[in-house]
Amino acid sequence: MNTMQDQNLTPAEVTQLTKAMLSVALVDGIHPAEAALIGQFYESSRSADMPTTATVMASPDAQSFDVASLVGSPATFADILLLMCLMTAYADGQLSLAEKNHIHLMATTLGVDAQRFDDHLAHVRDELVGALSHLPDAGSVAMVVKELAAND
């Protein structure tokens, strides 16, 4: 899932995306897989004049996120934000209802309609299934697909 690959993000956008991802992870406690994903994104996207990844990750509570400050952002940035947040939520193996509601509120605030949100959700789920599809145990992959669908 390399949604950010060809994106030229400003330091402010990297910071906002990181804060948004952290806000999702904090919904039900930061899981190590969520922290790893957020840290990897930030480290690969930050410029030399930005705080270190260790500094940002050391105090995620201090990295408050206010989605209302992003109202009026371009639709492409809103899409990236939602995709990154959904990936963060799924990083621990499941999208909790609280995480889904949190991300849906972000979508609504940013003017993303329900269909577009559902499309993003399906895209991330499809990416996860695609990442597992190379496994030799098709039964296990089918079970994961069923669990992903049930949790949404």
Backbone dihedral region for residue 126 (phi beyond 0: left; psi -120 to 50: alpha; all else: beta): alpha
* Amino acid present at 39: G
Three-state SS at 111: coil
Tokens 């990936």: give the residue: 87
Write down all domains in the chain, each with its CATH number in brackets. Answer: 11-151 (1.10.3680.10)
> 143 pLDDT band (50/70/90 cuts)?
low
Q: What is the DSSP letter of 69?
A: G
- Residue 138, pLDDT score: 52
Tell me the CA distances in angstroms from 29 to 20, 43, 89, 97, one per residue in order: 14, 21, 11, 14
CA angle 40, 37, 81 (to 5 degrees): 100
pLDDT tens for 67-87 read 999 999 999 999 999 999 999
Give the ranges where the chain is alpha helix by DSSP (H). 11-27, 32-45, 53-58, 75-90, 97-109, 114-132, 138-151
> 64 pLDDT band (50/70/90 cuts)?
confident
End-to-end CA distance of the chain: 19
Spatial CA neighbour of 56 closest among 16, 94, 91, 102: 16
pTM value is 0.81
For the chain, state the CA radius of gyration. 15
For residues 7 and 132, give the distance between their C-alpha atoms in angstroms, rounded to a whole number: 25
